[in-house]
Amino acid sequence: MTITSTDTERDARDRDAADPLSSLRTRFAIPPADGGDNDESAYLAGNSLGLLSVDVRAIIDEELSAWSRWGVEGHSDAPRPWVRYHEHLREASARLVGALPHEVVVMNSLTVNLHLMLVSFYRPAGDRTAIVIEDSAFPSDSYAARSQAALHGLDPDAAVIRLRPRDGEDVLRTEDIEQFLRDEGHRVAVMMLGGVNYYTGEVVDIARVTAAGHAAGAIVGWDLAHAAGNIPLQLHEWGVDWAAWCTYKYMNAGPGAVAGCFVHERHVADRTIPRFEGWWSSNVETRFQMGPTVDPVASADAWQLSNPPILAMAPVLASLRMFDSVGITALRERSLRLSEYLMDQLDTVLQGRASHIITPREQERHGSQVSVRLGADAADVTNKLRWEHGVIGDARMPDVIRLAPVPLYNSFHDCWRAARALGSVLDELGDTQQGAS
C-alpha cells in the first residue's frame, strides 16, 4: 500500500483519538525522549523490555506490607499466602497461552525452564538424537540445545540441526519445515523453535509444525519469549508437548521477571518422565511433612524446584490482571492496526534505499515487531534515533533494527515518528539504493 499525502502527523493523531484502546497508554511510564524530564520518547523496544505499568508499585507494596506485618507467617497468613503464590498466576497464565490451568506454572527464568524441559523431553536413543532449532534462534536457545547434546555425550555440531531459510530469503517457510520432517524426522528427538522469531518477527505456524513434528515421532517444544502476550496462543488445543516463555517483554513484568512454563496434560501425570526435583516439586499438602522423597503432583507444578520469589512474582500478577481485563484478542487486533500502519509508513521512507523490511507482511505471519535490514550500521542508526530523535528501538548486529509497536502503550504517532526519524537518519548516513554496496 502506498502512503498518500493525507498520511500526515495529524492523521496519526486522529487515528489515536479514534482507537478504543489508546487510553491504555496512560497506565504506563513512558521514558522521556532525551533521558531527562522532557517530552515522551517513541518507545518501540517492548519486544526487548516492556514498560513499567502504574500497577506494579502498588502490588509490590502490598507484599512488602505483608512481609512487615507477618514475617515468616506470611507463607500461610499473608493476604496472598506465599506458599501458594504461584497459584494466583495460574489461571490467568493459562488463559493467555491457551492452556488448562494445571498445565502451566510460573517459575524460574526462561533458559532455566528450557533446560528443565529438555532434561525431561530430550531423550536421545538410537538414530533419534537430534535437537532441531532455527538457524536464527536466540543465542541462549542455541547454547541450551548444544549443552544438552553435550550432556548426553553427543557432538553438538552433529546433534543440533539448524533450519535455514531458502537462499535469498529471511524467514523459514512452514512447508520447508514440514518437508524436512518428512525427510529427516526419523533423526529428530526434540524440536525447539521460537513461536515468534526474535530476529525477524516471523510468527511460526505452531499448530502445523507441531502436527508435522508429531507425525515424524518427535517431541515438539516451543520458546514463546516473543509470542506470549503478543499473539493469541492455543497450546493445549495444538497439542504442544511443552513450552516456555519470559514475562519481561510483551508482558511488562520487569527486567529479568519470572518466566512461565507449559507441559501438556498428557505428560503431567506420567511418572516415568525424568525430571529434576526440589522441595516445590512435591505435593503442597504433604510438603511440610519433610519426607525424603517427592510426593509428585499431576500438574506442571511437578517441574518446580524452589519456593517462589514473591517480590519478583508480584509484577507478573499485575501484568496478568491487565491482560485479563483487556483480552489478548483485542490487543492482537490493535497490534495489527499499529504494526501494519508502521509498515506502511516505513514503505514510504525506505523507498529507493538499500534498507528494507524483513518481517513477513501477511497478518498471520507477524506479531507486533517489525524488523528492518538496514543499508547502514544498526548501532549507528539506533543511537541516532535515540539521542537525536527520541525514538527507542533496538539493534541486532550488524544491520537489523527492530521496532515493536506494543498495543498496550504505543500509539500511531509513535509509529509515524519512528518512520520519519528513520528516514532522516538514513539520509544522514547516505543509505540510498544507488549508493549501497
- Residue boundaries of the structural domains of the chain: 9-52+328-429, 80-325
Q: What is the pTM of this model?
A: 0.95
Q: Is the pLDDT of residue 130 over 50?
A: yes
Q: Tell how strand 219-223 and strand 242-245 pair up.
A: parallel
Q: What is the C-alpha separation between 215 and 295, in angstroms, rounded? A: 34
Predicted local distance difference test score (pLDDT) of residue 36? 57
pLDDT in tens, 253-268: 999 999 999 999 999 9
Q: How far is CA 199 from CA 102, 185, 276, 317, 398, in A?
A: 32, 26, 31, 28, 12
Task: Check whether the bond before 398 is cis (ω within 30° of 0).
Answer: yes
397-426 mean pLDDT: 97
Range of weakest confidence among 63-67, 132-136, 247-251, 286-290: 286-290
- Give the per-residue pLDDT at 92: 98
Q: Which residue in 112, 207, 190 sits closest to 154, CA to CA?
A: 190
Name the β-bridge partners of 262: 104, 243
The rounded percent of the chain whose pLDDT value lies above 90 is 94
Indicate the DSSP class of residue 395: E
CATH 3.40.640.10 fits 80-325, yes or no: yes
- The Cα 56–Cα 318 span in angstroms is 6
User: 203-239: buried (b, 16+ CB within 10 Å) or exposed (e) per residue?
Assistant: bbbbeebbbbbbebebbbbbbbbbbbbbbebebbebb
Banded pLDDT at 34 (limits 50, 70, 90)? confident
Question: At the topology level of CATH, where does 9-52+328-429 sit?
Answer: Aspartate Aminotransferase, domain 1 (3.90.1150)
How many angstroms separate the CA atoms of 340 and 362, rounded?
Answer: 10
Of 210, 134, 220, 142, residue with least CA distance to 169: 134
Q: Kindly state the DSSP code that residue 279 receives in the 8-state scheme.
A: G
Of 31-45, 276-290, 308-322, give the range with the top mean pLDDT. Answer: 308-322
